Amino acid sequence: MIVRVTTRSLPAELETYAEARERRAHDIEVLRRGDRHQRQLAEELSRCRKGHRCQNEGCKICLALFRRWLVREATPILASRPHWTSASVVTAGLLALDDELDDFDLNKLVKRLRKRLERSSLADRTIVGGVDVSHNVQENCAVGYQFHLYLLIEGEDNLSLREAVKAAFPPDDTAAEPYRFKCVNHIPGAVSYSYKSIFVRRSCFIDGSGIARTKKQPLKGAELRALLTFLARYKVGARLILQRVRRNGNYLVRSSGAIRP
Protein backbone atom coordinates (compact mmCIF):
# COMPACT_ATOMS: atom_id res chain seq x y z
CA MET A 1 0.00 0.00 0.00
CA ILE A 2 1.30 3.49 -0.87
CA VAL A 3 1.13 5.93 2.03
CA ARG A 4 0.63 9.56 1.09
CA VAL A 5 1.62 12.57 3.13
CA THR A 6 -1.08 15.22 3.22
CA THR A 7 -0.43 18.93 3.14
CA ARG A 8 -1.32 19.15 6.83
CA SER A 9 1.41 16.68 7.75
CA LEU A 10 4.14 18.40 5.72
CA PRO A 11 6.84 19.81 8.03
CA ALA A 12 7.03 23.48 8.88
CA GLU A 13 10.57 23.51 7.43
CA LEU A 14 9.08 23.30 3.93
CA GLU A 15 8.64 26.73 2.42
CA THR A 16 5.30 27.83 1.06
CA TYR A 17 4.95 28.74 -2.61
CA ALA A 18 4.78 32.42 -1.64
CA GLU A 19 8.01 32.12 0.36
CA ALA A 20 9.77 30.30 -2.49
CA ARG A 21 8.61 32.94 -4.97
CA GLU A 22 9.86 35.74 -2.70
CA ARG A 23 13.24 34.03 -2.28
CA ARG A 24 13.59 33.52 -6.02
CA ALA A 25 12.73 37.17 -6.63
CA HIS A 26 15.54 38.14 -4.25
CA ASP A 27 17.97 35.82 -6.08
CA ILE A 28 16.98 37.33 -9.43
CA GLU A 29 17.53 40.84 -8.10
CA VAL A 30 21.00 39.90 -6.83
CA LEU A 31 21.93 38.12 -10.07
CA ARG A 32 20.95 41.17 -12.14
CA ARG A 33 23.75 43.08 -10.38
CA GLY A 34 26.34 40.57 -11.62
CA ASP A 35 28.16 39.89 -14.87
CA ARG A 36 26.62 39.01 -18.23
CA HIS A 37 26.26 35.30 -17.48
CA GLN A 38 24.68 36.00 -14.10
CA ARG A 39 22.24 38.45 -15.67
CA GLN A 40 21.33 35.78 -18.23
CA LEU A 41 20.65 33.34 -15.39
CA ALA A 42 18.38 35.93 -13.77
CA GLU A 43 16.30 36.05 -16.95
CA GLU A 44 16.14 32.23 -17.13
CA LEU A 45 14.85 32.06 -13.57
CA SER A 46 12.30 34.80 -14.21
CA ARG A 47 10.84 32.78 -17.12
CA CYS A 48 10.21 29.69 -14.95
CA ARG A 49 6.46 29.23 -14.47
CA LYS A 50 3.80 26.55 -14.07
CA GLY A 51 3.82 24.24 -17.05
CA HIS A 52 7.29 25.44 -18.09
CA ARG A 53 9.47 24.85 -15.04
CA CYS A 54 13.21 25.35 -15.52
CA GLN A 55 14.08 22.34 -13.30
CA ASN A 56 17.13 24.29 -12.22
CA GLU A 57 18.92 23.44 -8.96
CA GLY A 58 19.35 27.17 -8.40
CA CYS A 59 15.63 27.99 -8.76
CA LYS A 60 13.95 28.37 -5.37
CA ILE A 61 10.52 27.43 -6.74
CA CYS A 62 11.71 24.26 -8.51
CA LEU A 63 13.70 23.43 -5.39
CA ALA A 64 10.63 23.89 -3.18
CA LEU A 65 8.58 21.61 -5.43
CA PHE A 66 11.33 18.99 -5.38
CA ARG A 67 11.60 19.12 -1.59
CA ARG A 68 7.84 18.57 -1.24
CA TRP A 69 8.09 15.61 -3.60
CA LEU A 70 11.01 14.17 -1.61
CA VAL A 71 9.16 14.44 1.70
CA ARG A 72 6.04 12.81 0.27
CA GLU A 73 7.99 9.95 -1.33
CA ALA A 74 10.66 9.29 1.30
CA THR A 75 8.46 9.53 4.40
CA PRO A 76 6.57 6.23 3.82
CA ILE A 77 9.86 4.43 3.12
CA LEU A 78 11.42 5.67 6.34
CA ALA A 79 8.22 5.11 8.32
CA SER A 80 8.27 1.42 7.36
CA ARG A 81 11.37 0.85 9.52
CA PRO A 82 11.63 1.47 13.28
CA HIS A 83 14.95 3.29 13.67
CA TRP A 84 16.77 6.02 11.76
CA THR A 85 19.81 8.14 12.55
CA SER A 86 20.70 11.50 11.03
CA ALA A 87 24.39 12.07 10.34
CA SER A 88 25.83 15.45 9.45
CA VAL A 89 29.31 14.91 8.01
CA VAL A 90 32.07 17.32 6.97
CA THR A 91 34.53 15.01 5.25
CA ALA A 92 37.95 15.77 3.82
CA GLY A 93 38.37 16.94 0.24
CA LEU A 94 35.06 18.76 -0.19
CA LEU A 95 36.28 22.34 0.09
CA ALA A 96 36.27 24.48 -3.07
CA LEU A 97 38.19 27.73 -2.84
CA ASP A 98 36.35 30.76 -4.18
CA ASP A 99 38.27 30.69 -7.47
CA GLU A 100 37.88 26.90 -7.79
CA LEU A 101 34.09 26.64 -7.57
CA ASP A 102 33.64 26.77 -11.35
CA ASP A 103 35.89 23.69 -11.69
CA PHE A 104 33.99 21.69 -9.06
CA ASP A 105 31.86 18.83 -10.48
CA LEU A 106 28.78 18.13 -8.36
CA ASN A 107 27.77 15.04 -10.35
CA LYS A 108 31.18 13.43 -9.87
CA LEU A 109 31.12 14.34 -6.18
CA VAL A 110 27.74 12.67 -5.57
CA LYS A 111 28.83 9.59 -7.53
CA ARG A 112 32.03 9.36 -5.46
CA LEU A 113 30.13 9.68 -2.17
CA ARG A 114 27.67 6.97 -3.22
CA LYS A 115 30.59 4.67 -4.09
CA ARG A 116 32.07 5.22 -0.65
CA LEU A 117 28.80 4.15 0.94
CA GLU A 118 28.54 1.08 -1.29
CA ARG A 119 32.04 -0.02 -0.31
CA SER A 120 31.57 0.64 3.40
CA SER A 121 30.01 -1.38 6.20
CA LEU A 122 26.91 0.78 5.66
CA ALA A 123 26.26 -0.89 2.30
CA ASP A 124 23.30 -2.94 3.58
CA ARG A 125 21.49 0.03 5.10
CA THR A 126 18.86 2.18 3.41
CA ILE A 127 20.07 5.79 3.18
CA VAL A 128 18.38 8.99 2.03
CA GLY A 129 20.21 12.29 2.14
CA GLY A 130 21.77 15.16 0.32
CA VAL A 131 24.79 17.37 -0.18
CA ASP A 132 24.71 20.79 1.44
CA VAL A 133 27.08 23.71 0.88
CA SER A 134 28.02 26.83 2.81
CA HIS A 135 30.45 29.66 2.21
CA ASN A 136 32.93 29.57 5.09
CA VAL A 137 34.78 32.56 6.46
CA GLN A 138 37.50 32.52 9.15
CA GLU A 139 38.09 35.78 11.00
CA ASN A 140 36.57 37.71 8.07
CA CYS A 141 38.85 35.96 5.55
CA ALA A 142 37.20 33.73 2.95
CA VAL A 143 37.96 30.01 3.29
CA GLY A 144 35.78 28.76 0.43
CA TYR A 145 32.65 26.80 -0.36
CA GLN A 146 32.41 23.81 1.97
CA PHE A 147 30.34 20.89 0.72
CA HIS A 148 29.10 18.44 3.35
CA LEU A 149 26.61 15.59 3.78
CA TYR A 150 23.39 15.15 5.68
CA LEU A 151 22.31 11.51 5.68
CA LEU A 152 19.35 9.64 7.14
CA ILE A 153 20.68 6.16 7.85
CA GLU A 154 18.59 3.12 8.69
CA GLY A 155 19.45 1.90 12.18
CA GLU A 156 19.83 3.03 15.77
CA ASP A 157 22.27 5.75 16.75
CA ASN A 158 24.93 3.53 18.30
CA LEU A 159 28.72 3.12 18.29
CA SER A 160 28.66 0.68 15.37
CA LEU A 161 26.82 3.11 13.10
CA ARG A 162 28.94 6.08 14.13
CA GLU A 163 32.20 4.23 13.56
CA ALA A 164 30.98 3.04 10.16
CA VAL A 165 30.23 6.62 9.09
CA LYS A 166 33.61 7.85 10.33
CA ALA A 167 35.41 5.04 8.51
CA ALA A 168 33.61 5.84 5.26
CA PHE A 169 34.10 9.60 5.53
CA PRO A 170 37.35 10.78 7.20
CA PRO A 171 36.90 14.15 8.92
CA ASP A 172 37.91 17.48 7.50
CA ASP A 173 40.62 18.69 9.88
CA THR A 174 39.44 22.29 9.59
CA ALA A 175 35.89 21.48 10.78
CA ALA A 176 35.18 22.30 14.41
CA GLU A 177 32.59 19.51 14.55
CA PRO A 178 32.96 17.16 11.55
CA TYR A 179 30.32 14.69 12.78
CA ARG A 180 26.93 15.16 14.37
CA PHE A 181 24.57 12.26 15.01
CA LYS A 182 20.99 12.29 16.21
CA CYS A 183 18.11 9.86 16.53
CA VAL A 184 15.35 10.74 14.03
CA ASN A 185 12.07 11.38 15.83
CA HIS A 186 10.18 13.37 13.19
CA ILE A 187 10.64 11.79 9.76
CA PRO A 188 9.11 14.47 7.46
CA GLY A 189 11.13 17.20 9.17
CA ALA A 190 14.34 15.17 8.92
CA VAL A 191 13.76 14.47 5.22
CA SER A 192 13.14 18.13 4.44
CA TYR A 193 16.29 19.10 6.36
CA SER A 194 18.37 16.58 4.40
CA TYR A 195 17.92 18.56 1.17
CA LYS A 196 18.41 22.22 1.99
CA SER A 197 16.98 25.11 0.01
CA ILE A 198 18.73 27.95 1.84
CA PHE A 199 22.50 28.25 1.84
CA VAL A 200 24.37 30.29 4.42
CA ARG A 201 27.63 31.99 5.22
CA ARG A 202 29.41 30.37 8.18
CA SER A 203 31.55 32.97 9.91
CA CYS A 204 34.07 31.41 12.31
CA PHE A 205 35.85 33.53 14.90
CA ILE A 206 37.46 33.45 18.34
CA ASP A 207 35.45 35.34 20.93
CA GLY A 208 36.77 37.44 23.79
CA SER A 209 37.08 34.36 25.98
CA GLY A 210 39.26 32.58 23.45
CA ILE A 211 36.47 30.18 22.46
CA ALA A 212 35.90 29.28 18.81
CA ARG A 213 32.44 30.33 17.62
CA THR A 214 30.48 29.98 14.39
CA LYS A 215 27.79 32.39 13.29
CA LYS A 216 25.37 31.72 10.45
CA GLN A 217 24.75 34.72 8.21
CA PRO A 218 23.07 35.34 4.84
CA LEU A 219 25.36 34.99 1.83
CA LYS A 220 26.75 38.26 0.53
CA GLY A 221 25.85 39.32 -3.00
CA ALA A 222 29.00 38.06 -4.74
CA GLU A 223 28.89 34.78 -2.79
CA LEU A 224 25.24 34.18 -3.66
CA ARG A 225 25.80 34.99 -7.34
CA ALA A 226 28.73 32.56 -7.53
CA LEU A 227 26.80 29.77 -5.82
CA LEU A 228 23.63 30.24 -7.88
CA THR A 229 25.68 30.23 -11.08
CA PHE A 230 27.31 26.98 -9.97
CA LEU A 231 24.03 25.31 -8.99
CA ALA A 232 22.38 26.40 -12.24
CA ARG A 233 24.60 23.94 -14.10
CA TYR A 234 22.60 21.06 -12.58
CA LYS A 235 19.06 19.74 -12.66
CA VAL A 236 17.07 20.01 -9.46
CA GLY A 237 17.71 16.92 -7.35
CA ALA A 238 21.37 16.66 -8.34
CA ARG A 239 22.46 16.80 -4.68
CA LEU A 240 20.33 13.80 -3.70
CA ILE A 241 22.06 10.71 -2.26
CA LEU A 242 20.16 7.42 -2.22
CA GLN A 243 21.16 3.93 -1.20
CA ARG A 244 18.87 0.89 -1.49
CA VAL A 245 16.26 3.37 -2.77
CA ARG A 246 15.89 4.56 -6.36
CA ARG A 247 13.84 6.97 -8.38
CA ASN A 248 11.22 5.35 -10.60
CA GLY A 249 9.57 8.11 -12.59
CA ASN A 250 7.67 10.27 -10.11
CA TYR A 251 8.15 7.80 -7.27
CA LEU A 252 10.81 6.62 -4.85
CA VAL A 253 10.92 2.86 -4.43
CA ARG A 254 13.06 0.46 -2.48
CA SER A 255 15.76 -1.25 -4.54
CA SER A 256 15.69 -5.02 -4.78
CA GLY A 257 17.61 -7.04 -2.23
CA ALA A 258 17.39 -8.04 1.39
CA ILE A 259 16.52 -5.38 3.92
CA ARG A 260 18.22 -5.17 7.29
CA PRO A 261 16.32 -6.99 10.04
Residue 260 falls inside a structural domain:
no
Task: State the distance between the two ends of the chain, measured CA to CA, in whole angstroms.
Answer: 20
Q: Range of 21's domain? A: 14-254
Residue 224 falls inside a structural domain:
yes
* pLDDT tens per residue, range 115-161: 999 999 999 999 999 999 999 998 888 999 999 999 999 999 999 99
- Angle between helix axes 221-231 and 36-46 (nearest 10 degrees) is 70
Percent of the chain whose predicted confidence (pLDDT) is above 70: 93
Residue 3 falls inside a structural domain:
no
* pLDDT tens per residue, range 20-53: 999 999 999 999 999 999 999 999 999 999 999 9
At 140 the pLDDT is 86
pLDDT band at 7 (very low <50, low <70, confident <90, very high): very low
**pLDDT (average), residues 171-192:** 94
In sequence order, the β-bridge partners of residue 85 are 153, 183
Residue 9 falls inside a structural domain:
no
> What's the pTM?
0.91
Residue 194 falls inside a structural domain:
yes
At 176 the pLDDT is 83
Q: Are strands 179-183 and 127-138 parallel, antiparallel or unpaired?
A: unpaired
Residue 87 falls inside a structural domain:
yes
At 9 the pLDDT is 55
Q: How many other CB atoms are found less than 10 A from the CB of residue 71?
A: 23
The total number of structural domains in the chain stands at: 1
Residue 121 falls inside a structural domain:
yes
Residue 1 falls inside a structural domain:
no
DSSP E strands: which ranges in 187-254? 200-206, 212-218, 240-243, 245-248, 251-254
CA distance 53 to 47: 8
